[in-house]
Amino acid sequence: MNAQKNIIFDWNSTLLDDFPIIHECMNHIMQRVGKAPISIDQFRAAYEVPFETLYTNLGFADDEVDHVMNLDRHVFHDVYEPKAENAPLRDGAAELLQHAHDNGVHAYILSNHIVEPIRTQLRRLEIEHFFTEVLAYATRETQFRDMTKGERLRLFMAEQGIAGSGSMIVGDSVEEIEIARAIGMISVAITGGGALEERLRAEKPDYVIHSLHELKPILLERGFVS
């Protein structure tokens, strides 16, 4: 293990066990615009980034999407953040992060969320020291507007001289699989978050896992840890 190894984690529903909260907040938005609530499976089937596509998948007309996106940026966060204050980590997250840290692996967060609320959660959960950097949006106003997750990661990796060949991305949606494919990284899709398992498998990630405990042997197999 001479070359630096890097793991890029999605945050929401990958490390933080907050998918039920996100689903609840989504239905709050649906209620605000006079739509019927959706089930968890309906949400997962429709989930796609950019979120404009998510709302189109949920049946919003083109002229409704701008309005609902504005609500998403503000009302969603107002509802989400207080509820997320008690959200736990997904099972095995702390142990995995400690294991990677002990083996000299650099860990990063790549998220469509906002930087400071993520850092607040990292401090609350006492895991901030495991991460080299948090790559996310600076404010609600810039969310989904300045650059995509993939663009943000490519820029950061170029600036830091990080090679895709020595890096792995772990996420709960199709977006992370697409990012990995574009950059040449190992892709690990985790179920139980924003996408149905069959949607994840259809994108052909390198691995599909159901628990973060399953990532430890993958790290060993790929030479990230000894």
pLDDT at position 1 is 38
Q: Where are the alpha helices (DSSP H) in the chain?
A: 19-32, 40-46, 51-57, 62-71, 77-84, 93-102, 115-124, 149-160, 174-183, 197-202, 215-221
| CA distance linking residue 150 with residue 100, whole number of Å | 23
List, in sequence order, every residue forming a beta bridge with 114; answer none if it has no partner: 137
pLDDT at position 144 is 66
| CA distance linking residue 24 with residue 18, whole number of Å | 10
Q: What is the residue-wise DSSP string for 63-108?
A: HHHHHHHHHIIIIIHHHHHHHHTTPPBPTTHHHHHHHHHHTT-EEE
| CA distance linking residue 218 with residue 94, whole number of Å | 17
Burial class of residue 135, CB neighbours in 10 A (0-12, 13-18, 19+): buried
**Contact criterion met (CB below 8 Å) for 1 and 224:** yes
- Split the chain (226 residues) into runs of 10 and give each run's mean pLDDT: 84 97 93 93 89 91 88 85 96 97 97 95 98 92 80 96 95 96 97 94 98 98 94
**Contact criterion met (CB below 8 Å) for 150 and 179:** yes
| CA distance linking residue 109 with residue 131, whole number of Å | 7
**Contact criterion met (CB below 8 Å) for 84 and 121:** yes
Count other C-beta atoms under 10 Å from residue 20's C-beta.
12
Q: Is the pTM of this model over 0.85?
A: yes
Q: Return the residue matching tokens 């793991």.
A: 7
